Amino acid sequence: SSFDLVKLAEEIIEEMQLLAKQNQNIIYQHTGTQHIVRLDQNLLKNCVVNLIGNAIKYSGENTFIEFNTEITETSCQITIKDNGIGIPEADQKHLFEAFFRAHNTGNIPGTGLGLNIVARYAALMDGRVSFESQVNQGTLFAISLPIL
């Protein structure tokens, strides 16, 4: 069914900002005039919450997390960018495997399931998940979803 993506995004930020570290600010921007999308709201919310949760967990205090949505005639693009620990190149190909955790997570807790769920949920919406990351620079995750 249909829902207002911008409204959902604003609600998610309000929730996630409470879980953020000291001075870790989630900045939301949206482009496109249309705000209503026909997608599964629960699947989408779960994906975004997982990715913002990771951005919070794997980046430090006093940083920005950029969350963008763009709605076009045919697609919905969601990006989440942090300036955190990044993902080592050798680990990147395993990232969506269940229980996989990169080698630079140290004592940061986690089970390695979040991204596996994101990948499955995106697939259920016929979408794609991609990322770019550099160790000690940060990480960008993108979800691209067809609409209509």
Write out the residues near ligand ATP by the rule CB under 6 A.
54-55, 58, 82, 84-87, 95, 100-102, 105, 110-116, 139
Q: Does 54 help bind Mg ion (rule: CB under 5 A)?
A: yes
State the binding partner of 48 from ligand ATP, Mg ion, none, CB within 5 to 8 A by kind: none
Provide the minimum distance between the beta carbon of 148 and Mg ion in the complex, in angstroms, as a whole number: 31
Q: Which of residues 105-124 bind Mg ion (CB under 5 A)?
A: 114
Cβ closer to ligand ATP: 69 or 141?
141
Cβ closer to ligand ATP: 72 or 130?
130
SS (H, E, C) the chain: CEEEHHHHHHHHHHHHHCCCCCCCEEEEEEECCCCEEECCHHHHHHHHHHHHHHHHHCCCCCCEEEEEEEECCCEEEEEEEECCCCCCHHHHCCCCCCCCCCCCCCCCCCCCCHHHHHHHHHHHCCCEEEEEEECCCEEEEEEEEECC
Provide the minimum distance between the beta carbon of 101 and ligand ATP in the complex, in angstroms, as a whole number: 3
For residue 45, give the amino acid letter: K
Cβ closer to ligand ATP: 13 or 85?
85
Q: Which residues bind Mg ion (CB under 5 A)?
A: 54, 114
